[in-house]
Amino acid sequence: MTNDELLSMIQYGAETIFKANDETMGDEDIEEIMKKSEEKTAELEAKYKHMGLDDLQRFTMEANTMQWEGEDFGKRNAAINKTWIAPSKRQAKKTADAYDVDKYFRTTFALTGDRRHMPTRPKGPIPMRTEDWKFYPTALAVLQEKETTFQQRQQGFKVPKRVPDEGERITDEQLEKEREEEQARIDAAEDLTEEEKAELANLKSQGFNDWSRKDFNAFVKANEKYGRHNIEAIAKEIEGKTLAQIKTYAAVFWERGPEDIAEWERFKSTIEKGEAKLQKAVEIQEALTAKVTSYREPLLQMKLQYGASKGKNFVDEEDRFLLVMLERFGYGRDDAYEKIRQELRKAPMFRFDWFIKSRTTQEIQRRCQSLITMIQKELDEAKNPQKDDADRKNDKEGTPGDETKPKKGKRKAKYAVINVDGASVTSSTASKKRKKD
């Protein structure tokens, strides 16, 4: 017998052999079993031989894979599932921070029932918000207060007793008297007349209702930056507003601001500080102009009285160039020092001065501030010739250890006259001595 025949015998006929118990089987019985197996195989082949693709896709097994030795294990598992105890519903644990607000207030104020089902009073129309920077007419707040008080009377509002502030000395009798007076005012409230209602509607259309908090803050910052009188520059800083609108608002702002705006002093102080800086910038610009224009050739002839603030890095011709350029571009400009840096790199007189050409904008700004302080001091001395001799001596000699004393490593300038495009200019080859090891 071949292996295939043995396998077929086991699949289709061995069960009958094992069920035979003690009975003896002859060759005829084995032949009968093999015959039945062949018939079963032929039947299955005939059944599935002509099946197409659609039939194979709908193919289902006739045998139940959950049956074994006469027992249906599928029904057994279903019976087990019926006795399964489902786990409890998952709930988030309440921590100290996640508390019930309603429960807390019910416990604190001894409230009963659910707050959501408590009856509420009907709400009247919400009064229009009248922010102080919108400058509504004063009569609008009076009429809105009268309207709100009458609505409280219709709703049966009861004024609670006021809670005194911390440290306030007031008795319960005084608090009760205040409550009674306020309650009497509400009980005696009257509705607006037809004329008052028409006036209220008219007043609501007035004021600067299209001005937001953002627009107001931009207006204050622009006043601080440019001054209250530079309306054209202020209008450029505020988006969505025309020059005429800015002029109208500015006039009302300075007229009614002290009375209507709650934080008027803070806004006024901010604007005045900005204007003081602008005035100082104008004075510095005038001092620079007076200093530069007092010489025919300021780049060559300007004299600087350093005193104790000369330093060891910058030389005279570099300082003169910085002052001339700062006076040209303007002291108050934000990009003045960047323009000076660009001019330093293009200037023929500093063609070989790598120190000044490598200075950053911040370093140029610090040096210009030092020179401006020096010029202001010089002008003050010219206006006050009666200055104490002791101060003059200190300015001339300096303090011990300052930079006016000779020090190693101090830069020295070597001057040479060169011709650039037919013009004679002074060029420096300022270099810095280095210590030898």
Last residue of a domain, one of 225, 242, 277: 277
Q: What is the DSSP string of 30-61?
A: HHHHHHHHHHHHHHHHHHHTT--HHHHHT---
Is residue 436 included in any domain, yes or no?
no
Of 269, 281, 279, the closest CA to residue 331 belongs to 281
Query: In this structure, are 414 and 382 located in the same domain?
Result: yes
Query: In this structure, are 247 and 320 located in the same domain?
Result: no
Query: In this structure, are 340 and 265 located in the same domain?
Result: no
Is residue 99 included in any domain, yes or no?
no
Q: What is the pLDDT of residues 87-113, one digit of tens each?
A: 677 776 665 555 667 767 666 665 455
Say what the pLDDT of residue 195 is. 81
Q: pTM here? A: 0.52
Structure tokens at 430: 């300022």
Range of the domain at 36: 1-40
Q: Identify how many contiguous H helices and E strands the chain contains and give both numbers.
A: 18, 4
Model confidence band, residue 58 (pLDDT cutoffs 50, 70, 90): low
Give the 3-state DSSP-derived string for 17-29, with helices as H, strands as E and coil as C.
Answer: HHCCCCCCCCHHH
213: Cα separation from own chain's centroid: 16
Q: How many CB atoms lie within 10 A of CB 286?
A: 12
The larger pLDDT score, comparing residue 377 to residue 400, is at 377
Query: In this structure, are 197 and 231 located in the same domain?
Result: no
Is residue 57 included in any domain, yes or no?
no
> Do residues 295 and 340 make contact, with C-beta atoms less than 8 angstroms apart?
no
Q: What angle separates helix 361-383 from helix 336-346, to the nearest 10 degrees? A: 100
- Mean pLDDT over the full length of the chain: 76
Q: Give the 3-state secondary structure of residue 395.
A: helix
**Nearby residues of 185 by Cβ (< 8 Å), 6 or more positions away:** 149
Query: In this structure, are 307 and 414 located in the same domain?
Result: yes
The larger pLDDT score, comparing residue 110 to residue 345, is at 345
> Do residues 125 and 154 make contact, with C-beta atoms less than 8 angstroms apart?
no
Last residue of a domain, one of 156, 183, 204: 204
Query: In this structure, are 223 and 200 located in the same domain?
Result: no
The CATH number of residue 237's host domain is 1.10.10.60
Query: In this structure, are 357 and 268 located in the same domain?
Result: no
Most confident of 112-116, 303-307, 424-428: 303-307
- Count the domains in the chain: 4
